[in-house]
Amino acid sequence: MFARPARLLASFVILATLPPTSSAAQTSRLLTVDDLFAIKRVGDPQISPDGRWVAYTVSTTSLEQEETETRIWMVSSRGGEPIPMTAEGYSASQPRWSPDGKYLSFTAAKGEGKTQVWTLNRLGGEAQQLTDVKQGITDYGWSPDGTRLLLSIRDSEEEEGEEEKEESKTREPWVIDRLQFKRDGVGYLTGNRHTHLYVFHLASRELTQITSGDYDESQGVWSPDGKRIAFVSNRTENPDGNSNSDIWIVSAANSDKGQTLLQVTTNPGADGSPTWSPDGEWIAHTTVLEPELIWYATTHLAVTSTEGGTPQVLTTELDRNVSAPHFGKDGREIYFGLEDSGENHLVWMELPGRKTSRPIEGQLSASGFCYGPNGMIAALVSRTDLPAEVFILDGGKLRQLTGVNKEFLSGVRLAAVKNVTFPSKDGTEIEGFIYLPPGYDESLRYPTLLRIHGGPVSQYSHSFNFDAQLFAAHGYVVVMTNPRGSSGYGQDFSRVIWADWGNKDYEDVMAGVDYAVGQGYADPDRLGVGGWSYGGILTDHVITKTDRFKAAITGASEVLYVANYGHDHYQLQWEKELGLPWQSRMAWERISPFNKVENIVTPTLIMGGEDDWNVPIQNSEQLYQALKRLGRETQLVVYPGQSHGLRVPSYQKDRLERYLAWYDKYVKAGSAGAAATSPVPSF
């Protein structure tokens, strides 16, 4: 039924920016580490109700001040000069238009205050604070008639007024009694705080709580008539023991704090991203049909009656992850995001025939869709040569609306990027990207880095990758593959590595290296490998299986998996994939690289965050200790106070500088800079 369920591209298609050959090439420069902070990040496009304007966010990072600031801008949907809507000095996010288009609202925490909703008159003037919630708000949305706001509010601390007043005061112990007891970026989960939904009446400033209980509610959306709210919540007896989120409906005028609810979905997997049909009779949503496969399971599109009942799953034959569904204005079509073979598209599906087309497609990554009048759609679109910018789909034509990084990009030379496919050891076709240094000379071989993505259920895509561009600017060929376990290629492709990490995915990434060598890009005697999160985990497997690499960098990785049980925040996933460690210990030990640590001879830089509860630093410390004890070349770098992702700009810079220094020392092996190459032998 679907014409393109598995679309891999030809091996020799050059996608992105080719090295300039005009006079501009003589004046442009190569990318540097500090350019990470010169690139501005665009997000959250929002079309005004009349379709005349698009609001969006722009985030900038100051290395000197060690902070990132986000401002809201507005630009005509026809193009033109952008207008700043919020001032410098504080961060603003979540721009949303009032239904009449007169006001542009946003969230911000000014001064020492908590995050509140603010509003601006589109014609100008100072922002006015709308909400005054003691603990702040986490999300919000306008009612269709513009008289109310739906707020998501997390319960306040029981003794919020008794916070520590002196640095020397001894903190209270954490007292924990729940199954899921920690979360990366949060820490220990104590008390009984949850996120609930409230309705805020703009005229009276009255705040009404409409859900409650020992559950969390999220993704709340108004019905078209403004009388009901659909939301997502796991209301099973033990929410920590499963991933069974369902879609529920509550009255917007509810007076019993959500004691009266209608359950829309009953699927044992995760249902989410609800969106109402224009007539209020249906809800389109995402659904996971095989929750026992945890993150390897495909996320599908479904439609369910607002009265509940059997869902209609619309994308089983497509076998690709979907996201962000949205009904068209007449309710006879649904738009949704689709992840497919290194690309991210916008798909249109006609109901009830399920005929599909892709209004936004090609060698790009599209996300952040917003739907305006008369079929207008705004989206964030990125390519390998373009950090995400706002694009408009209008009259069937896609055009770029913002050029936030235009000036920056005009002054740098980027890598040429090849999108390739190649066979793995068992013949399975694998897709990848090869970044060639600016000024690449096909008569020479280059030092080459295999960089592995996180996840494992993720993918490298046709989007801007700063790290790869930086490595290429520094004289390296960069090989990035989507091995089995990756998303974008169907559920079976992802689940191949179920309880078998470091096997088929290892073969796939090595096949990418062999392809780069065979095509004459890579110098087989100057290879490096590395990655962060699962990229680091697979790196650990790689260096226990081969000595081909002259250097490895393993970031936020794990090597002795049983040590993470009860220490990271993945207990549910560990148990589903490997079983309880005291009952199926061999499954845990069989895939742990630590048990083969004596095989490692590659100089290995080990990195991570001190407070990472996603992949705790404990395993990195164990790997470092073992390698040091074995007398191998190694170094451990721990970033203070950081969780799984480094937030502090100077730490981000430090990490990139260490990447380059480590690879230069061991991969380039003393060669003179980026021009160090070897002749290509004739085949």
| Structure-token pair, residue 206 | 């009255």
Q: How many residues does the chain have?
A: 683
Q: Which residue has the tokens 């569904």?
A: 325
Is the pLDDT at 302 greater than 50, yes or no?
A: yes
Distance between CA atoms of residues 657 and 241, nearest Å: 41
Distance between CA atoms of residues 220 and 316, nearest Å: 26
Using CA atoms, how far residue 501 sits from 217, 442, 496, 540, in Å, is 34, 35, 9, 11
Residue 167's pLDDT is: 55
| Structure-token pair, residue 450 | 């295999």
CB atoms within 10 A of CB 399: 11
Residue 168's pLDDT is: 52
Using CA atoms, how far residue 215 sits from 177, 504, 634, in Å, is 15, 39, 46
In tens, the pLDDT along 572-601 reads 999 999 999 999 999 999 999 999 999 999
State phi, psi for 680 to the nearest 5 degrees: -85, 125
Q: Which residue has the tokens 């859900």?
A: 211
Angle CA 120–121–124, to nearest 5? 95
Q: Are 283 and 314 in contact (CB under 8 A)?
A: no
Is the pLDDT at 61 greater than 50, yes or no?
A: yes
**Which residues neighbour 565 within 8 Å (Cβ) at sequence distance 6 or greater?**
571, 574, 581, 588
Distance between CA atoms of residues 432 and 461, nearest Å: 9
Residue 23's pLDDT is: 41
Mean pLDDT of the chain: 91
- Assign 172 a pLDDT band (cuts: 50, 70, 90): confident
Question: What letter does residue 239 receive in the DSSP assignment?
Answer: G
In tens, the pLDDT along 30-48 reads 999 999 999 999 999 999 9
In tens, the pLDDT along 485-506 reads 999 999 999 999 999 999 999 9
**Which residues neighbour 310 within 8 Å (Cβ) at sequence distance 6 or greater?**
304
Average pLDDT over residues 339-362: 95
- Assign 1 a pLDDT band (cuts: 50, 70, 90): very low
In tens, the pLDDT along 215-236 reads 999 999 999 999 999 999 999 9
Hey, which CATH number is domain 409-671, 1.20.1250.20, 3.30.160.250, 3.40.50.1820, 3.10.350.10? 3.40.50.1820
In tens, the pLDDT along 390-402 reads 999 998 999 999 9
Q: List 107's β-bridge partners, or say none.
A: 93, 117
- Assign 165 a pLDDT band (cuts: 50, 70, 90): very low
Architecture of domain 131-157+175-263: 6 Propeller (2.120)
Is the pLDDT at 160 greater than 90, yes or no?
A: no
Residue 182's pLDDT is: 87
In tens, the pLDDT along 241-272 reads 999 999 999 999 977 787 789 999 999 999 99
Query: In the chain, what percentage of residues exceed pLDDT 70?
Result: 92
Q: 162: burial class by Cβ within 10 Å (0-12, 13-18, 19+)?
A: exposed
| Structure-token pair, residue 611 | 């407070």
**Which residues neighbour 242 within 8 Å (Cβ) at sequence distance 6 or greater?**
234, 236, 268, 291, 572
Distance between CA atoms of residues 667 and 676, nearest Å: 11
Q: List 522's β-bridge partners, or say none.
A: 446
| Structure-token pair, residue 370 | 């917003």
Is the pLDDT at 325 greater than 80, yes or no?
A: yes
Is the pLDDT at 2 greater than 70, yes or no?
A: no
Alpha carbon 354 to its chain's center: 28
Q: Which residue has the tokens 């376990």?
A: 485
Distance between CA atoms of residues 71 and 59, nearest Å: 6
Is the pLDDT at 184 greater than 80, yes or no?
A: yes
Residue 158's pLDDT is: 61
Average pLDDT over residues 314-340: 96
Residue 254's pLDDT is: 76
In tens, the pLDDT along 289-301 reads 999 999 999 999 9
In tens, the pLDDT along 513-557 reads 999 999 999 999 999 999 999 999 999 999 999 999 999 999 999
Distance between CA atoms of residues 525 and 548, nearest Å: 8
Using CA atoms, how far residue 62 sits from 9, 66, 91, 500, 638, in Å, is 39, 6, 13, 42, 22
The span from the first CA to the last CA of the chain, in angstroms, equals 44
Residue 152's pLDDT is: 98
- Assign 444 a pLDDT band (cuts: 50, 70, 90): very high
Could you please report the per-residue DSSP string of 556-571?
A: S--S-GGGGTTTSS-H
Average pLDDT over residues 322-344: 96
Q: Are 557 and 536 in contact (CB under 8 A)?
A: yes
Residue 672's pLDDT is: 38
Q: List 471's β-bridge partners, or say none.
A: none
Q: Are 340 and 362 in contact (CB under 8 A)?
A: no
Instruction: Work out the angle between the directed axes of helices 534-545 and 504-518 (0-180°, nearest 10).
Output: 80
Write the single-letter amino acid at 370.
Answer: C
Residue 422's pLDDT is: 98
Structural domain boundaries in the chain: 40-127+368-404, 131-157+175-263, 268-362, 409-671
Is the pLDDT at 678 greater than 80, yes or no?
A: no
For 654, the enclosing helix (H) or strand (E) is: helix 649-666
Is the pLDDT at 16 greater than 60, yes or no?
A: no
Among 178-182, 361-365, 471-475, the range scoring the smallest mean pLDDT is: 178-182
Average pLDDT over residues 658-662: 98
| Structure-token pair, residue 247 | 């879609």
In tens, the pLDDT along 197-211 reads 999 999 999 999 999
Is the pLDDT at 50 greater than 50, yes or no?
A: yes
- Assign 83 a pLDDT band (cuts: 50, 70, 90): very high
Distance between CA atoms of residues 666 and 654, nearest Å: 18
Write the single-letter amino acid at 446.
Answer: Y
- Assign 170 a pLDDT band (cuts: 50, 70, 90): confident
Of 510, 509, 481, 486, nearest to 497 (Cα)? 486
Is the pLDDT at 118 greater than 70, yes or no?
A: yes
Residue 540's pLDDT is: 98
